[in-house]
Structure 1
Amino acid sequence: MKRLNIFILCIFLFQTIIAQDKATEIRNKLLTRDQSTVLVVAHRGDWRNAPENSLPAIDNAIKMGVDLVELDVQRTKDGIIILMHDPTLDRTTTGKGKVSDWTLDSIQTLKLKNGCAIRTKEVIPTLEEALLHAKGKIMINLDKADRYFDEVYLLMQKTGTTKQIVMKGSKSPEEVKAQFGKYLEDVIYMPVVDLDKEGAEKQIVTFMEELNPVAFELLYKNDSTALPLKMKNLLEGKHLIWYNTLWDTLCGGHDDDLSLEDPDKGYGYLIDTLGARIIQTDRPAYLIDYLRKRGQHD
């Protein structure tokens, strides 16, 4: 019996080590600008099968093989950072009013709602809980965290997750250096560039020269603009390209909805024609299945 218990413990430790190595593996793909696979980002976790920004939503994303999970943060009245997209509680919880008007102990009495606005048994996690929960298992894109990033970074240090975080934004290179400069050895920062705006190409070139980012998130409304194709040629082999397929005007119409009808015209176009190697989606399981059939995801 003792030998059996030791064997079970060894298996558990081995599985834990493997899981904790996963985040490092994904980070290395980002840092090396790996072109051989397409990284999948789950928007607010697997919110179709669990409440958005919840621990089960993170767990589901990890289990299905997602590479990055996008999470949103807000801050309570007593200064605790929690997972929450909206500044108000009404849409996703059984509470009402602004997050900033509630203390953490009061917020923890609430229940999260699922995607159909039905009450669940799940509670609102703090960012610290979420970081510990995901530690070593998946990369995390934190949204809305730049408002109080110094506090966020302290939590990252406390939980040992400083090298698991991706930040994105539309700030200038000077603003990025001023706000995130001392963190950029750990935190991966990706500029977001709207290709439909004047000066977009110049903005990208400036970032390439001054910060050499791992990747750019690119936005455009329709295929009438030639800049997405030009950016593929400019960035290929030097920087990864991230597209959001959450809705049509983010990716020229090649979104999740089109991909459900014809994934080659949706996801496939972004990958093959525009060079996407990171895709954020509300359909992570569907995208991963498509990529695996193409040999572009583990």
Structure 2
Amino acid sequence: MKKNICICFLLGLTISSFAQDRVSLIREKLLNRNQSSVIVVAHRGDWRNFPENSLEAIDNAIKMGVDVVELDVQRTKDGKLILMHDSTLNRTTTGEGQISEITLDSIQKLRLKNGYAVRTIHKVPTLEEALLHAKGKIMVNLDKADRYFDQVYALMEKTGTTKQVIMKGTKSVKEVKELYGDYLADVIYMPIVDLDNRNAESEIERFVQEMNPVAFELLFVKDTNPLPVKVKEKLAGKSLIWYNTLWDTMAGGHDDDRSLSNPDDGYGYLIDTLGARILQTDRPQYLLDYLRSRNMHD
């Protein structure tokens, strides 16, 4: 009996160690600007099979082998942080009203709806629950969290996940340093730059010179824009490139839908022509299958 308990204990330690190592490996790929593979980000978790921003959506992304899960943060009337994209409860839960006007205990009585707006058994998680749930298993990109980042960081410290979180934003170099300077040794910050803006190139150069970011999230509406190809060369060896394939106007039409009919013309174009090494998708399993067929993901 004692021998069995010992074996189970050692197995548990091995599994825990493996999980911790997986997050460390993903973070290392980011920090080293690894070009040999593509990092996959699941938008709001695997929301096609579970409600968006739910613990179960995070779990399924982990099972698939996704590297990063993107989650959205809102704050309740009593100052608690929860996972929710919208500022209201109407679309994704069985409740109604502004989240900022409703207390956490009331929200926790609700149930999440799935992508078809059907009630499920799943509940709205707090940010703390989500961080603990993802700890050691997957990197986390927190969206909308910059509005209360001091509070968010306190939860990261409490849960031991300060080196597991990615933040992105459209703020200037000066603003980023002033707002997040104390946190940037742990938290990975990625600037978001719209390549259709006339000052996009100078903005990228400023960030590279002053902050040397791990990656940039880039946006452009049409692939007639010459800047994405130019930026690929400018950022080579300096910063990774992140594109969103959620809808067509985010990556010049080379989105998930286009990839369904021709993945080489969708995902492949962003990877090969534009140098993308991070892709955020609403179809994580489909993207993973494509990347694995090209030996660009484990």
Q: If the length of structure 1 is used for normalisation, what is the TM-score?
A: 0.99
In the alignment, structure 1 residue 261 sits paired with structure 2 residue 261: yes
In the alignment, structure 1 residue 63 sits paired with structure 2 residue 63: yes
Counterpart secondary structure, 1:189: strand
- CA distance in structure 1 between the aligned counterparts of 2:14 and 2:257, rounded to whole angstroms: 40
Task: Identify the residue that residue 90 of structure 2 maps to in structure 1.
Answer: 90
1:236-251 correspondence runs (5 A): 236-251=236-251
TM-superposed deviation, 1:21: 1.6
What root-mean-square deviation, in Å, do the aligned CA atoms of Structure 1 and Structure 2 show?
0.7
TM-superposed deviation, 1:261: 0.3
1:1-298 correspondence runs (5 A): 1-298=1-298
Q: Which one-letter code corresponds to 1:295 in the other structure?
A: N
- CA distance in structure 2 between the aligned counterparts of 1:223 and 1:107, rounded to whole angstroms: 43
TM-superposed deviation, 1:13: 1.8
TM-superposed deviation, 1:20: 1.8
Q: Which one-letter code corresponds to 1:144 in the other structure?
A: K
- The one-character-per-residue Cα deviations of 1:222-280 (angstroms, maximum 9, x if unpaired) are 11110000000100111100000000000000000000000000000000000000000
* Contiguous gaps of at least 5 residues in structure 2: none
Following TM superposition, the consecutive aligned residue runs of length 4 or more in structure 1 with deviations greater than 2 angstroms are none
TM-superposed deviation, 1:23: 1.0
- CA distance in structure 1 between the aligned counterparts of 2:210 and 2:5, rounded to whole angstroms: 55
* Contiguous gaps of at least 5 residues in structure 1: none
Counterpart secondary structure, 1:78: coil
Counterpart secondary structure, 2:290: helix
Q: Which one-letter code corresponds to 1:159 in the other structure?
A: T
TM-superposed deviation, 1:2: 2.6
Q: Which one-letter code corresponds to 1:208 in the other structure?
A: V
- The one-character-per-residue Cα deviations of 1:60-101 (angstroms, maximum 9, x if unpaired) are 011100000000000000000000000000000000000111
- CA distance in structure 1 between the aligned counterparts of 2:107 and 2:189, rounded to whole angstroms: 31
Q: Which one-letter code corresponds to 1:74 in the other structure?
A: Q
Identity value in percent? 69
TM-superposed deviation, 1:24: 1.1
- CA distance in structure 1 between the aligned counterparts of 2:255 and 2:113, rounded to whole angstroms: 26
